[in-house]
Amino acid sequence: MTWAGLESARVSTVQLADIVPQVDESAWELPSACPGWRVIDVIAHLGALAHEAVEPPAPDPSWPKNRERYHDLRVGERRGWSHDEVLDEWRRFTPLQLEILEQGQQVPQADEPVVVPGLGTYPRHLLADTMAFNVLCHLRYDLLAPGGPLPLVLPPPDDALIAPAVEFMLAGLPQMQGRELDATVDEPLVLDLTGPGGTTVTVLPAQGPHEHLSVVPGDTGATTRVRSTASNFVSWGTTRTSWRESCEITGAPATAEQFLDRLNII
C-alpha cells in the first residue's frame, strides 16, 4: 500500500496551507511557473482535483481528451471566482480527498484498477502518490522561488516527500504518452535518480506492437545511463526545466536524448 504517499500528500498540503496566509492579494495574480496559470489558478487546480475526488462529475463527451487541456478547462471555469472562493473550495475538499485516499489503502479496494482519463490505469492505493506528486510539484516548482514567483521558504524536501511523487511518475511514464514515447526507446536505458527520493530503474523497450515500454526496478546492466537527482527529475520529467540542465548521460547519448526530449509526465 502507498501509505507513504498519503503521508507525503498530507505534509505537502500542510506546507501549502502555511504558505497561503503569506500571499497577498496582488501576489495571487502573479504568473506561476505553470504556463498560462496565475498563482491563484494553481490553487484552483488543486481545489478542482479535490472536489472531483469527493464529488465525481458525470462524464461529458465534450471534455478535452488531453489531460492538460482538461485541467485548463477546470481552471478556466474558476477564473471568475474571487480569491476567497477559490481558497474556500480547496480548503473544504482537500481534507475530504485525503480521507478518500486513506480509505483507498484498505483491502480489498486498494488493488482495484482505477482509470484516470488521459493518464492511465492505476491501483486505487497508488492514487495517494498522485496527490503527493501534484501538491509537491505545484507548490515547490510552480509557486515558490526560484522557479515560481513567491519568495517564500520551506525546508528542503526530504525522501518522505519526494519518493512517492517519483513513484507516481515512474508508474505513469509507460502510460501517459503511449506510442510516441515507446518509439524513442529501442534499447534498455537505466535511469539513476539520486538524493532524497532516489531510486534506480531500467526503462525497457516495448516487447511487441501492442505493448508499451516498461519500467522495472533496479539496474539491468544497460550500457546507456541517465543520472539526475530525484528532486530535479520532478522538474525536468514534467518539462518545467530542461533535462539538459540536470542530467548526466553515459553510454550512447543519442539513445538517451531521444527519450528525454520526448518525455513529459503530466
My answer on whether 133 and 206 are in the same domain is no
C-beta contacts of 257-262 below 8 A and 24+ residues apart: 258/184, 259/181, 259/184, 259/185, 259/189, 259/203, 260/226, 260/236, 261/184, 262/177, 262/180, 262/181, 262/184
My answer on whether 38 and 150 are in the same domain is yes
Q: Is the pLDDT of residue 266 over 90?
A: no
Q: Is the pLDDT of residue 1 over 70?
A: no
pTM as predicted: 0.93
94 lies in a domain?
Answer: yes
pLDDT at 118: 82
Task: Tell me: cis bond preceding 108? Omega within 30 of 0 counts.
Answer: yes
My answer on whether 202 and 256 are in the same domain is yes
What is the residue-averaged pLDDT of the chain? 94
**Residue 59 has which C-alpha cell?**
462524464
Query: Which of 121, 155, 189 marks a domain boundary?
Result: 155
CB atoms within 10 A of CB 196: 17
Please list the residues that pair with 115 across neighbouring strands. 121
Tens-digit pLDDT profile for residues 165-218 = 999 999 999 998 888 899 999 999 999 999 999 999 999 998 877 789 999 999
Q: Which of 184, 152, 159, 208 is nearest to 260 (CA)?
A: 184
My answer on whether 150 and 74 are in the same domain is yes
Average pLDDT rounded to a whole number, residues 30-43: 96
168 lies in a domain?
Answer: no
| Residue span of the structural domain in which 237 resides | 175-262
Task: Tell me: cis bond preceding 146? Omega within 30 of 0 counts.
Answer: yes
My answer on whether 255 and 221 are in the same domain is yes
What is the total count of domains within the chain? 2
My answer on whether 203 and 119 are in the same domain is no
**Residue 72 has which C-alpha cell?**
485548463
My answer on whether 181 and 100 are in the same domain is no
pLDDT band at 231 (very low <50, low <70, confident <90, very high): very high
My answer on whether 140 and 197 are in the same domain is no
Q: Is the pLDDT of residue 235 over 80?
A: yes
Asked if residue 163 lies in contact with residue 199, where contact means CB atoms within 8 angstroms, the answer is yes
My answer on whether 122 and 32 are in the same domain is yes
My answer on whether 25 and 134 are in the same domain is yes
Tens-digit pLDDT profile for residues 95-136 = 999 999 999 999 999 999 999 888 899 999 999 999 999 999
Distances (CA, A) of 83 to 40, 43, 49, 150: 7, 9, 17, 16
**CATH number of domain containing 189:** 3.30.1050.10
My answer on whether 138 and 49 are in the same domain is yes
My answer on whether 150 and 256 are in the same domain is no
* Chain position carrying cell 479496494: 109
Please list the residues that pair with 201 across neighbouring strands. 191, 217
Task: Write the DSSP string, the chain.
Answer: --HHHHHHHHHHHHHHHHHGGG--TTGGGSB-SSTT-BHHHHHHHHHHHHHHHHSPPPP-TTS-SSHHHHHHHHHHHTTTS-HHHHHHHHHHHHHHHHHHHHHTTSTTGGG-EEEETTTEEEEGGGHHHHHHHHHHHIIIIIIBTTTSSB----PPP-HHHHHHHHHHHHHHHHHHSTHHHHTT-SS-EEEEEESTT-EEEEEE--SSTT---EEEES----SEEEEEEHHHHHHHTTTSS-GGGT-EEES-HHHHHHHHHH----
167 lies in a domain?
Answer: no
125 lies in a domain?
Answer: yes
**CATH number of domain containing 12:** 1.20.120.450
pLDDT band at 234 (very low <50, low <70, confident <90, very high): very high
163 lies in a domain?
Answer: no
CB atoms within 10 A of CB 100: 16
